Structure 1
Amino acid sequence: MDIVLIRHPAVAVDAGICYGYSDVALADDPAASAAAIAMRLATLQVPQPRVLLSSPLTRCATVAAALAGDFGCAHSIDERLKEMNFGAWELQRWDAIDRASLDGWAANFEHAREHGGESVAQFVHRVEAWLDAFAQTRELSPAYVVTHAGVIRVIAALVLDVPVERALQWSVDMSAMVWLRRDAVRQQWSLVRWNA
């Protein structure tokens, strides 16, 4: 089973803004962004998808729909593929958020909800529910999933059996791809490419 996780392209939001769960626009045309992603994936010899899955947020869904059109496959949206909900911090500058609130979040990273949105544990649980359901559908492989950096890192942590806190520090560039493969016999996942 192959799953190719693709981070959405750059967004029309200033640097330093928290925009996790918020529905923000892409900086560039979705069709042009999808074409560039498809070209890079072909160069890397990534197998073409049987299905395109995505977060419902515009920055993912529009690119996934364009890719699905290019590849002639189905596109479906899943709420569980949204980025983490940062509650009151959404669309705020990170450097303008109360320092005590950030410190409180860091002190209890897994369970704190200083912002009133999701805790990291809740976010991981949501993404894991999606992954468990997806893993039961072998006929969808290979699948491309257009989603967010946080979701990509959590999926990688879960399948590669590394601590989520560690994986959340791994780089995932805009429009980058992470290719994961599960061996059908041993039922073990491996990393084919990271941040390509």
Structure 2
Amino acid sequence: MEIYLIRHTTPVLERGLIYGRKELLLHAGFPSELEIVRSKLDPDLDIIYSSPASRCTTLAKAIGAGFVTDSRLQELDFGEWEGKTWDTVDPAALQAWMDDYVHACTPGGESMMQMYARVKSFWDDLGKTAHHKIAVVTHAGVIRLILSMVRGIALTEIFDINPAYGEVFRIERSISR
């Protein structure tokens, strides 16, 4: 099984914005970023999975006709922090989350462990499909978690993985039945 993990292309956003689940427009450079992404993919994909966020579905649709959205591919839910900037959230709450982001939830959001469980569920199900060439259009957080599974990286070290906008990671995986 050949899997392409693809981070969405560059969104329009203000510096420091917390935007896990927030809908954002794509940058005007999308057409050129799309061509770079396409050049890194096998042209004969069997299926494309996408996060339901429009910044992902726009890219998925442009890569190929027909794609399947899966809510397990959504970015971390930052809850009450969504749409705020890092410098405007309560400093004590921010520090508590940063000290243990693996287990701590943002106010009204989810923890990294909760996100890991849903991403692992997707990854486990993906391994049971009959598809051989798969594209997954998603977010940096989801890519970090999948790469942590594949490479055996601890969740406390996942921020060492920094997927760029439009970056493609190719993974070979055996089918598990």
Instruction: Return the TM-score normalized by structure 1.
Output: 0.83
How far, CA to CA, are the matches of 2:143 and 2:77 in structure 1?
15
Cα displacement (A) at 1:181: 0.9
Selected match of 1:109 from 101, 114, 118: 101
Greater length-normalized contact order (CA 8 Å, ≥ 6 residues apart): 2
Which of the numbers 49, 55, 68 marks the counterpart of 1:59?
A: 55
Which stretches in structure 2 are left out of the alignment for 5+ residues?
Answer: none
Counterpart of 2:131 in structure 1 is 140
Contact 1:149 1:172 in 2 (8 A): yes
Aligned to 1:165: 156
Aligned residue for 1:11?
Answer: 11
8 A contact 2:10–2:30 mirrored in 1: no
In 2 relative to 1, CA 66–116 (structure 1 residues): closer, same or farther, beyond 3 Å?
same
Whichever residue aligns with residue 27 of structure 2, its letter is A
- The root-mean-square deviation of aligned C-alpha atoms, in Å, is 1.8
Q: Per the alignment, do residues 169 and 116 of structure 1 end up closer, same or farther by CA in structure 2, a change over 3 Å counting?
A: farther
Deviation at 1:37, TM superposition (A): 1.4
The reply to whether residue 121 of structure 1 matches residue 113 of structure 2 is: yes
CA distance in 2, matches of 1:101, 1:29: 36
Distance (Å, rounded) in 2 between the aligned partners of 1:94 and 1:52: 33
Compute the TM-score of the two structures, normalised by the length of structure 2. Answer: 0.91
| CA positional deviation for 1:165 | 2.1
Q: Deviations over 1:49-98 (max 9, x none)?
A: 211110010000011011013xxxx4111011010000011111112222
Q: Which runs of 5+ in 1 are unaligned?
A: 188-196
Report the secondary structure of 1:6's partner residue.
strand
**How many residues are paired up?**
176
1:190 equivalent in structure 2: none
